[in-house]
Amino acid sequence: MAEPFASPQDIQACRAAIRGGSKSFFAASFLLPREARDRAFALYGFCRWADDTVDQGEDAAAACSLVTRRLAMIYAGQPADSPIDRAFSDVVRQCDIPQALPDALIEGFAWDATGRQYETLSDVRAYGARVASSVGAMMSLVMGARSAEALARACDLGVAMQLTNIARDVGEDARVGRLYLPRAWFAEAGRDPDAWLAEPRFDAHIAACVQRLLTEADRLYRRARPGIAFLPSRCRPAIHAAARIYREIGVEAGRNRFDTVNRRATTSTLRKLGLAGAAVLDAVFASTAAAEGPLAETRFLVDAAPDAPAPDTPPPWWRVDEEWGRVIGILHDVKMRDRAAGG
């Protein structure tokens, strides 16, 4: 096997990038086995860098070109002199990640940069396929699950999480001129989406749109759940935890009467602890269900990855107490770090 590009310090740099960028993923990631966790840090580190580069750049086209060039260098085995590029290059090589998957992610960032509009729910799912399901499919490969069934469910989970993000950030997005709620839903209610975007306010129509989007997210969380059983047993608690923690954002939005214009739905560390504990039991008792094909919007991602049987070992029944203890320790450490940082 070729020598890795990345050093332990490079992995730590990726870890730091995720620590500041996604607390939910950061907490759930510590339930992964060490090797899968380090690869996940590298994957998310590259995705975060690419997102920030395009989103914060003054010239969107130039930023997309830069990210595309850096990705080409990674796939050529000549990563740029950057901890994140070196670490992701190792992941690409070790996990046989087809370039079509990160290409789809960059396409989604380009959609953001060019102000693409989303008329229908299918259009929104297509956006979620690019900016979230592409990452879900890569994570499935990182964890060693390559079957079409595993990838289809990973893509379902990605879209579900992205719909949750959109529902949570309606006000935040509107204040920077972005609208991800389907514009057709405004037309159905006789509303002008551009007029609302110019002066975003919460009302019954927006509440109904947020609720409708979260209902679709819930449908996809249910579709995705059986697919977690295709993952190696030691990886399952982390993905169940991530799904539960993200889904709880929608529950919290419901408690706020779906007002995500004036307030951002968040989940406390204590609640995350309970959800992560439940995820351990999910990993023990969950099983696969009758296979469904991928969403029409994510099929291209599933088709991009070479198919292979997914490893599927029985859940470690005798280790539930150990996993639960690990959950408590991990989230206690996260909480202490948040307090120390003033978060």
pLDDT in tens, 244-279: 989 999 999 999 999 999 999 988 878 877 887 788
Question: pLDDT tens, 47-102?
Answer: 999 999 998 888 988 999 999 999 999 999 999 999 999 999 999 999 999 999 99
pTM to 2 decimal places: 0.87
The pLDDT, as a whole number, for residue 315 is 40
The pLDDT, as a whole number, for residue 3 is 86
* Architecture of the structural domain at 98-340: Orthogonal Bundle (1.10)
The pLDDT, as a whole number, for residue 132 is 97
Question: pLDDT tens, 307-324?
Answer: 654 444 444 433 444 444
Question: pLDDT tens, 112-135?
Answer: 999 999 999 999 999 999 999 999
Q: What is the mean pLDDT of residues 164-192?
A: 97
The pLDDT, as a whole number, for residue 317 is 37
- In this predicted model, which residue has the larger pLDDT, 255 or 19? 255
Percent of the chain with pLDDT strictly greater than 90 = 69
The pLDDT, as a whole number, for residue 272 is 78
3-state secondary structure string across the chain: CCCCCCCHHHHHHHHHHHHHHCHHHHHHHCCCCHHHHHHHHHHHHHHHHHHHHHHHCCCHHHHHHHHHHHHHHHHCCCCCCCHHHHHHHHHHHHHCCCCHHHHHHHHHHHHHHCCCCCCCHHHHHHHHHHHHHHHHHHHHHHCCCCCHHHHHHHHHHHHHHHHHHHHHCHHHHHCCCCCCCCHHHHHHCCCCHHHHHHCCCCCHHHHHHHHHHHHHHHHHHHHHHHHHHHCCHHHHHHHHHHHHHHHHHHHHHHHCCCCCCCCCCCCCHHHHHHHHHHHHHHHHHCCCCCCCCCCCCCHHHHHHCCCCCCCCCCCCHHHHHHHHHHHHHHHHHHHHHHHHCCC
Question: pLDDT tens, 293-302?
Answer: 999 999 999 9
pLDDT band at 287 (very low <50, low <70, confident <90, very high): low
